[in-house]
Amino acid sequence: MADTEFQREALQHLNALYNFAVYLTRNPPEADDLVQETYLRAFRFSHRFQPGTHLRAWLFQILRNTFLTFYRLREREAAIAEDGVPDWDTPMFHDTPLDEGSAMEAHTDLERAMRRLPEEFRTVLLLAEVEGMPLEEVARVMACPVGTVKSRIFRAKERLRGLLKDYDSK
Amino acid sequence: MNDHVSDADEHLGRRLAAELPRYTAPASLRVAIVQALDPAPSRRPAWLSPLLAAAATAMVLAMVMLPLLPRMVPSDPSDQMLRAVVSEHSRALMWGSRQSQVIPAALPWLQEQSGIELSSTFVGDDLLTFVSAEPVYLLRQRGLAVHYRDTDGHLITYIALPGGDLKVPDRSRVQIERYRPALVRDSGFVTWVWKQRDVACFLVSDMVSTDDLERFKDYFVRVRASTEPSLAY
């Protein structure tokens, strides 16, 4: 695939990637950086992309891996600096803490509840329900079997319903 | 129960798709990405790199090939002869005579070998010391060379060759007493060039400075007045 054609096709997914990045980082400037880094990586490794396969899933996978590599690492470093205790032994599916003051404001209960979901749950719901991605593509982005994706969607909705119920009761 | 859960899941899925705010990438992000992906325009003109590469290649080839190229040979026979005479003087200066002989004892042998007959020869005096005489072979012609050395150590070479092709350059002629030889400078040497009958005569030295040149004129007169070459056959 020629570079210009690859660039054109990749940029068609810019808005979807940016939306995903905002929900991952909860911070628009960081989402900007994350998306830009995603495209730079995608072009740097464009020779590895196989034409005919799903470019969208490939881009989302790069974005998520970049997020996990850099942003989580940064969060961990910050946690160590503040508490002096590493937090990587926290449970994988722990709830995201409440938004800090610097993070963007949530407009609806649904959005607020989404933000409180662990990243793995947030990601499957965003990809499968919001982006309408087939489960096979979601599995590719998350590098896990389709069965795991189904299980995570089920559990994510269950957790989301619980959070929404809390908001309703308040 | 399962149906109830399934319905609730579907409802929540539709709600997520419909109600969850979508964030649109700012235009500045698209611009930044496109700019980051496009290679920065080079400050060098596009034609400069191939030109520099070609020039560098040509220079390397020239350095490799230069020693292998044939040396440029003058097309004029007189120039060729002069170049050969200077080369012979340089060789004698560097390496000495190949077969030094003493005049006049060796004159018959020298005449036989060189094809040049010397009815009289300058054999040296208080300023110029005879060093040696030898036959030479220049430009496919036989000739002879007589070497002298002055009191300052300059080597002066007299060479006589069959001179049918030699044209003494008129513009370079210098009047010295009753003679009018040409003075030619080549490769850091000076040469008096003249003809006697059918013999081309040369007197070569490295006496190029103004003072040396005056002495070199004197040497010419001494050699010219005392040496009478002619073709032996």
Confidence at residue B11, expressed as pLDDT on a 0 to 100 scale = 86
Identify the band that residue B97 occupies on the pLDDT scale cut at 50, 70 and 90: low
B175 within 8 A of B106, measured Cβ to Cβ: no
Residues forming a β-bridge with B189: B186
For the range B15-22, what are the long-range contacts, defined as Cβ-Cβ under 8 Å and sequence gap of 24 or more? B15/A110, B16/A110, B16/A114, B16/A125, B16/A129, B16/A130, B17/A129, B17/A130, B17/A132, B19/A108, B19/A110, B20/A108, B20/A110, B20/A111, B20/A114, B20/A130, B21/A107, B21/A108, B21/A111, B22/A15, B22/A19, B22/A130
Average pLDDT on A113-139 reads 92
Per-residue pLDDT tens over the stretch B11-27: 888 889 988 889 999 99
Helix (H, G, I), strand (E, B) or coil at B106: coil
Mean pLDDT of B153-182: 90
Which residue from A minimizes the CA distance to B5?
Answer: A158
Asked if the model's pLDDT at residue A18 lies above 90, the reply is: yes
Closest CA to A1 of A40, A38, A50, A39: A50
Residues B99-121 have pLDDT tens digits of 666 666 777 888 888 889 888 88
Interface of B with A in 4-23 (CB under 8 A): 8-9, 12-13, 15-17, 19-23
- Comparing A16 with B76, which gets the higher pLDDT? A16
Query: What span, in angstroms and rounded, lies between the C-alpha atoms of A49 and A62?
Result: 11
In chain B, what's the furthest Cα-to-Cα distance? 141
**How would you classify residue B96: left for phi > 0, otherwise alpha for psi between -120 and 50, otherwise beta?**
left
Residues of B in contact with A110 (CB under 8 A): 15-16, 19-20
pLDDT band at A103 (very low <50, low <70, confident <90, very high): low
Which tens digits make up the pLDDT trace of B17-60?
A: 988 889 999 999 999 998 887 765 556 677 788 888 999 999 99
B175 vs A: CB within 8 A? no
Strands (DSSP E) along chain A, which ranges?
A: none
Mark yes or no for CB contact B30/A11 under 8 Å.
yes
What is the tens place of the pLDDT at every residue in B170-226?
Answer: 888 999 988 999 999 988 899 999 999 889 999 999 998 888 899 999 999 999 999
Give the residue-averaged pLDDT of A97-113: 64
CB contact B25 to A (< 8 Å)? yes
Q: Work out the percent of chain A whose per-residue pLDDT is above 70.
A: 75
User: Residue A34 — very low, low, confident or very high, per pLDDT cuts 50/70/90?
Assistant: very high
Mean pLDDT for the stretch of residues A8-26: 92
ipTM: 0.79
SS3 state of residue B229: strand
pLDDT at A74: 63
d(CA A81, CA A101): 19
> Nearest CA of chain A to the CA of B66: how many Å?
45
**Quick count: other Cβ atoms within 10 Å of Cβ B137?**
13
Rounded distance, CA A58 to CA A61, Å?
5
Distance from CA of B42 to the nearest CA of A (A): 19
Residue B17, CA atoms < 13 Å, CB-side half-sphere = 13
The pLDDT of residue A81 is 43
Cβ-based contacts under 8 A for chains A and B? 72
Q: Give mean pLDDT, residues B123-135.
A: 88
What average pLDDT does range A92-101 have in this prediction? 45
Would you state the pLDDT for residue A102?
Answer: 45
Q: Please, what is the average pLDDT of chain A?
A: 80
pTM of structure? 0.48
Q: Residue B74's pLDDT is what? A: 64
What per-residue confidence (pLDDT) applies to A108? 80
Question: Is it the case that residue A65 has pLDDT exceeding 80?
Answer: yes
Spatial CA neighbour of A70 closest among A23, A110, A37, A32: A37
Looking at residue A1, what is its pLDDT? 55
Q: What is the mean predicted confidence (pLDDT) over A46-60?
A: 83
